[in-house]
Amino acid sequence: MPRFFSNKRLILLLVGVIVLVALIAFSLKDRQSANLPEKMVKDVVGFGQSLFSKPAHSITGFFDDIDGILNTYEENKTLKARLTEYASTEVELADIKEENERLRKIIDKKDDLRAYDPIQATVISRNPDQWEEKIIVDKGESQGVKLNMAVLTANGLVGKVVLVTPFTSTVELLSTENQNFRVSAMIPGKKDIFGLMEGYDPERGELIMKRIDSGFEVKVGQKVMSSGLGGIFPKGLLIGEVTEVSTDDYGLTKLAYVRPAAEFSMLDHVMIAKRQSATVKGTDDPGTSATEGKDGS
């Protein structure tokens, strides 16, 4: 025992450990204020951190700025290339439109399935019980709105007008559970593929395109547009993109799941398409298209 107390270093070590444990235990208590030693230590450590952190932040910020400048340069190059591409596409489109008008005059064709006059409208009401089915907009008969007119956003087709008052219109959305709401649709390609947008899968959040001829090959990623053959919707309005292809219950035709191009739950401003072409007789039934079958109408 005397030897133990004669070893001063060991005693100091043990005392130091005890004091350290006591300080740790004390510091772990829930306290709203620090004692004087803690304040001194925190202030000294904080001052030291600030001395090192500020130059470090300055250096990292400098390199971040350089990286941002380089990224901006690359983005600028990409945007310039896209702008040039857009300009050439716009010129090509204008040339195609001019040629189309010239050819239409030659064959004396007056109707154009793609032609429509947009009526700008704002969503003013939405029933929570029918959030995915109907909306009410602030344009009606006095602005030229009529039943069955197509309604779309900048992204794509969203529905059609089902009720009109002098100053408002009720729009039924493509995401409705109404089985009688059908849209004549097509998948453009070397050979157009026709079908009917008929139904909505709420679990997938996707539309269902049915009655596709089994002889056609439909691929995931293909765009789906309105065909214009139903006599209600103008041709070429984007509906969505194919995500899955399968056969119907009887295996006679194909069906495709289509991711909508428009966001039905986030509608604010819409356009009502006032179709310019003459309406095809017998095709304005809101629950049917012009014809059904392989011709896709």
> Is the pLDDT at 133 greater than 60, yes or no?
yes
* Buried b or exposed e, range 161-186, using 16+ CB within 10 angstroms: bbebeeebbbbbbbbbeeeebbbbbb
Segment among 18-22, 133-137, 162-166 with least mean pLDDT? 18-22
Q: CA torsion angle for 164, 165, 169, 172 (degrees, to 10)? A: -40
β-pairing, 157-164 vs 150-152, is antiparallel
DSSP conformational letter for 189: S
Of 226, 81, 250, 57, nearest in space to 158 by CA: 226
Torsion sign over Cα 27, 31, 37, 40: positive
Which percentage of the chain shows pLDDT scores above 70? Answer: 70
Q: What is the pLDDT of residues 19-64, one digit of tens each?
A: 777 767 666 665 555 556 655 665 666 666 666 666 766 777 777 7
CA distance 155 to 153: 5
Of 135, 178, 157, 160, nearest in space to 241 by CA: 157
With 0.85 as the threshold, say if the pTM is over it: no
Q: Where are the beta strands (DSSP E) in the chain?
A: 116-125, 134-137, 150-152, 157-164, 169-173, 182-187, 193-201, 206-213, 223-226, 238-247, 253-260, 269-275
| Displacement of CA 279 from its chain's centroid (Å) | 32
Structure tokens at 88: 């050439």
Q: How confident is the model at residue 286 (pLDDT cuts 50, 70, 90)?
A: very low
Of 145, 134, 148, 135, nearest in space to 167 by CA: 145
The number of beta carbons lying within 10 Å of the beta carbon of residue 224 is 28
